[in-house]
Amino acid sequence: MKLDRRIDIKLTPQRLAILECLVGNTSHPSASDIYKSVFEKFPTMSFATVYNTLETLKEKGVVVELSIDPDKKRFDPNTIPHHHLLCLRCKIIKDIFEKFSLVLSESEEYNFDIIGNHVDFYGICPQCKGVESNKHK
Ligand SMILES: [Zn+2]
Ligand SMILES: [Zn+2]
C-alpha cells in the first residue's frame, strides 16, 4: 500500500480510518472531532487510540498540530506552510495561503537562521456576525 510506505507506521484498520478522516479535511478537526466521525465506523475504538494515532502522525510529519484554538489542539493534514484565521465564537479555522514578508530586525533574530513563521489571525466569522446582529433586532 502506498500510504504505508510513505508514512512508515503500521496501518491497522483503525489507524487507516483516522487517516481517511484526515485526508483532504480542511476543517482542522480536534481529536474529539475525529473520534466522533471514526466512532460511527468503529464503535469499539477508544479515544486514546485516536489521540495516540494523532501523536504518531504528528511525529511522522503527516499532520500538523495547531495551537491557535485556546480550547483544544487542532490538527491539519495540510503540511504545506500556511497561516490560519480563527473565529473566536464558533472556532472555525480558515486557511490563509498568503505569503507575508515578515522580516525581523537583526537584533530580533538572535542569530537564528529563520526558517519560517506562522501567523494566527483571530476574528468573528460572517455566520457568527449574523447571529449577533439578529439578536439586536
Ligand atoms: Zn464563527
Ligand atoms: Zn490549515
Q: Output the domain CATH number for residue 88.
A: 3.30.1490.190
59 and 3 within one domain: yes
Q: For residue 76, what pLDDT is reported?
A: 97
13: enclosing H helix or E strand: helix 13-22
If you average pLDDT over every residue of the chain, what do you get?
90
Cα(23) to centroid(ligand 1), Å:
24
Q: Using CA atoms, how far apart are residues 12 and 124, in angstroms rounded to an integer? A: 40
Among 60, 79, 98, the domain-final residue is 79
E strand map for 1-137: 64-66, 74-76, 83-87, 93-96, 120-123
C-alpha of residue 3 to centroid of ligand 1, in Å: 34
In this predicted structure, what is the pLDDT of residue 8?
73
In angstroms, the CA 83 to CA 95 distance is 6
Q: Evaluate if residue 100 carries a pLDDT over 70.
A: yes
Rounded Cα–Cα distance for residues 117 and 102 (Å): 8
Q: How many A from CA of 34 to the centre of ligand 1?
A: 20
So what's the pLDDT on residue 1? 34
How much is the average pLDDT of 75-88? 96
- Same domain, yes or no, for 13 and 51? yes
How many residues does this entry show for the chain?
137
Of 118, 13, 132, the C-alpha closest to 74 is 118
pLDDT in tens, 53-78: 999 999 999 999 999 999 999 999 99
Q: Which of 90, 50, 51, 85 has its CA nearest to residue 68? A: 85
Instruction: Residue 57: count other Cβ atoms within 10 Å of its Cβ.
Output: 21
Which of 36, 54, 79 is where one domain is finished?
A: 79
Residue 9 per-residue DSSP state: S
Query: Which of 40-49, 83-92, 101-110 is the most confident on average?
Result: 83-92
From its phi and psi, is residue 61 left (phi > 0), alpha (psi between -120 and 50) or beta? left
Q: What's the CATH code of the domain at 48?
A: 1.10.10.10
**Per-residue model confidence (pLDDT) at position 4:** 46
Beta strands 74-76 and 64-66, pairing class: antiparallel
pLDDT of 2 strictly over 50: no
pLDDT exceeds 50 at position 129: yes
Distance 74 CA to ligand 2 centre (A): 10
Mean pLDDT of 102-109: 92
Residues 86 and 66 both lie in one domain:
no
Tell how far the Cα of 97 is from the centroid of ligand 2, in angstroms.
9
Which bound ligand lies closest to the C-alpha atom of 121?
A: 2
Residue 20's domain spans which residues?
Answer: 1-79
Residues 55, 35 share a domain: yes
Overall domain count for the chain:
2
Query: Above 70 in pLDDT, residue 137?
Result: no
pLDDT at 115: 87
